[in-house]
Amino acid sequence: MNFSSSTKLSAGQSVTCLKNFGSGSTVNIPEGNLILSGGDQKISGTGLTVKEVIFSGTGTKTVNYNVINGKVTVQSDVTLTSTSVSPSITGDVINNGTITGDSVYLSVSGNITNNGTWNNKSVSLTGTQSISISGNPIQSDISISVFEIQPCICRKCEFFLFHKTIRGSVCYLS
């Protein structure tokens, strides 16, 4: 399938890709899902706008997008990394697999649920809305620049967050 500015998906529709996924421009399918379900895959382009991008199957998914507008889900048995030094995700991130990258400075402006392993260079939480962090500790440098942070209330996450750099106001829920 070739993506162009006229490519449209209706709500609930998905595109499933088993091979590498590349686009020379921005992919804009805000009502649809992009499912990358092959083995090792490379995903590249200048920007991606989707309702959700789901990294499934097995192997390593190497992303070379500067911006992913939409929810990102990494399923178990998947390792997500990036060749872009500072990719940005403007949606929620659910990690059930592995997120890695020794030189990847990831910016997230949505909620984070980490049920897997998360170990990249740095995670920057940005935005003006409340952000929730839950699940396993994120083994990355964390900077927070948002109005209100709502970390998970489990002791493990609170302990973990106290050992990271936090900029902005923090609101702990009880």
Report pTM. 0.80
| pLDDT reading at 159 higher than 50 | no
- Could you identify the residue written with the tokens 């994120």? 138
Confidence of residue 151 (pLDDT cuts 50, 70, 90): very low
- Structural domain count, the chain: 1
| Maximum average pLDDT range among 6-10, 23-27, 31-35, 68-72 | 68-72
Beta bridge partners of 79: 60, 98
* Residue-range definition of the domain harbouring residue 39: 14-168
Q: Is residue 9 part of a domain?
A: no
Residue 55 falls in which region: left (phi positive, over 0), alpha (psi -120 to 50) or beta: beta
In terms of residues, how long is the chain? 174
Q: Is residue 174 part of a domain?
A: no
- Phi, psi (rounded to 5 degrees) for 138: -95, 120
The per-residue pLDDT for 89 is: 92
Q: Is residue 115 part of a domain?
A: yes
| pLDDT reading at 2 higher than 90 | no
| pLDDT reading at 31 higher than 50 | yes
Q: Is residue 105 part of a domain?
A: yes
